[in-house]
Structure 1
Amino acid sequence: MTGKMVLWLLLSCVVTYFVCGIPFGLIVGSKEGHIDIRRVGSGNIGTTNVARSVGAKAAGLTLLLDALKGFLSTLIWSHVFANVLFMGNFERMAPTADFGWMPSIIFLFAIIGHVFSPYLKFKGGKGIAVGFGAALGYIPAVAMGLLLVFLVGAVPSRYVSVGSISTAISLPIWAAIFGYAPTTIYPLIIITLIVVWAHRENIKKLAHHQEKHFSFHHSGDKDKNA
């Protein structure tokens, strides 16, 4: 890599980390429900806990904003890399190409920022919404595959965690199916490991039949453990 490429990559990773670290679930929960989402339900700042502890509207907004920050990160930086480093040659950024790993690294830092938020003492969400958005901005075909896996896992079981964990595991598999370059897939494998790790408590609850089905908070409901 050239010095110019290294500098742009470092800049993009830092910006992505701080942008994707924005805890929209906490912000929306405070604005819509006037509560600190970290102190109710599971204490997680993600869509599921917002849905259970605040309501459908707040959950939808959290989902949208978390997905949007991931989407814009991979989309914008892919364009920046192509224009600044490769004279507008977007083919060099393709996931099957020699520099497809660069947007893949941005994808990884979007997940790192969300799961280890710099604004919450390196705690955060579990990476599903931001991950879907990041995939949509860079590898939309894989994003559709991820959505399919999530629905197949979550809808019949009514466990969001089942859909989420299955989706994370399927990420590098979809990439391999679509013939992406190994250097593009390696960061995706790390993403899978991070997201599965973020769901470690859910895995324990599933194993002990203690995981709760998905539900929305309704006015007058007491706080539920998420």
Structure 2
Amino acid sequence: MLPFYPVLAAIAAYLLGSLSFAVIVSRSLGLADPRSYGSGNPGATNVLRSGNKAAAIATLLLDAMKGAVPVLLVERFGAPYGLEEGTLALVGLAAFVGHLWPVFFGFKGGKGVATAAGALFALNPWLGLATLLSFVIIVAFFRYVSLASIVAAAFAPFYQLLVWGGGPVAIAITVMSLLLVWRHGANIKKLIAGTESRLGQKTSRPQGHS
């Protein structure tokens, strides 16, 4: 049974990652489905376009938690079941993949920035801080959340390899980074064309549901 524990842990992490909190939070507050306006992305940045900051913050925190919780649970309780570094990396990646392709929401998910950040902080808090700092610097100077996400994703595996070396965690982070950049393909085209929305830019607010 022991060899199946990492697989079971990964499945559980994927299912947790499949909870699209942008949609869940919006529905619970009577807001429009975030997939129906703005970028159509079920994530905190798009929820913010609804004008409800509390909903956006809740989405951000919950999406980050679903990336962190599986890693922290394996770290805390996995040793007796033979779950070590490889499983830590696997569940972090599985939660991230669940956010991108959620089984509960027709496999149409978000870009995974918050979930990846949560997984990074749980896997390596110092790496999480370094990546977050890169994100904040780009946002502060350029006001593009998408650009900051892409830059932070690109730097994360290099930070890991240069400071902490390779291994399962480095592989998981590299895969997450590549997927995250790929999911921002449309944003990259808009950035090149100069049509990408800046943080705080006024947009028409969607109508909520009664």
Is the contact made by 1:153 and 1:162 (CA closer than 8 Å) also made in structure 2?
yes
The AA in structure 2 aligned to 1:21 is S
Whole-angstrom CA distance in 2 between matches of 1:58 and 1:10: 33
Query: What does residue 170 of structure 2 align with?
Result: 185
Whole-angstrom CA distance in 2 between matches of 1:119 and 1:57: 24
Is the contact made by 1:67 and 1:130 (CA closer than 8 Å) also made in structure 2?
yes
Structure 2: 5+ residue stretches without partners: none
**2:72 is the alignment partner of 1:75:** yes
The AA in structure 2 aligned to 1:153 is I
SS of 1:61's equivalent in the other structure is helix
Quick one: which of 40, 45, 65 aligns to 2:42?
A: 45
Q: Deviation per CA, 1:137-184, whole angstroms, max 9, x where unpaired?
A: 221111001110100111211100011011111121111122233333
| Correspondence 1:66-145 to 2 at 5 A | 66-85=63-82, 93=84, 100-145=85-130
| Correspondence 1:3-22 to 2 at 5 A | 4=2, 6-22=3-19
Quick one: which of 21, 26, 29 aligns to 2:23?
A: 26
Whole-angstrom CA distance in 2 between matches of 1:47 and 1:222: 15
Alpha-carbon distance, 1:193 to partner: 1.0
**2:161 is the alignment partner of 1:176:** yes
Structure 1 residues 46 and 217: alpha-carbon distance in aligned structure 2, compared to 1, 3 A threshold: farther
**2:124 is the alignment partner of 1:158:** no
| Number of aligned positions between the proteins | 206
**2:132 is the alignment partner of 1:147:** yes
Query: What does residue 207 of structure 1 align with?
Result: 192
Alpha-carbon distance, 1:33 to partner: 4.4
TM-score by length of 1: 0.85
Is the contact made by 2:51 and 2:205 (CA closer than 8 Å) also made in structure 1?
no
CA root-mean-square deviation: 1.8
The AA in structure 2 aligned to 1:186 is I
Whole-angstrom CA distance in 2 between matches of 1:33 and 1:209: 33
Alpha-carbon distance, 1:217 to partner: 7.4
SS of 1:214's equivalent in the other structure is coil
Alpha-carbon distance, 1:41 to partner: 1.0
Is the contact made by 1:33 and 1:54 (CA closer than 8 Å) also made in structure 2?
no
Query: What does residue 57 of structure 1 align with?
Result: 54
Is the contact made by 2:18 and 2:98 (CA closer than 8 Å) also made in structure 1?
yes
Alpha-carbon distance, 1:67 to partner: 0.8
TM-score by length of 2: 0.91
Structure 1: 5+ residue stretches without partners: 87-92, 94-99
Whole-angstrom CA distance in 2 between matches of 1:183 and 1:60: 31
Whole-angstrom CA distance in 2 between matches of 1:55 and 1:204: 28
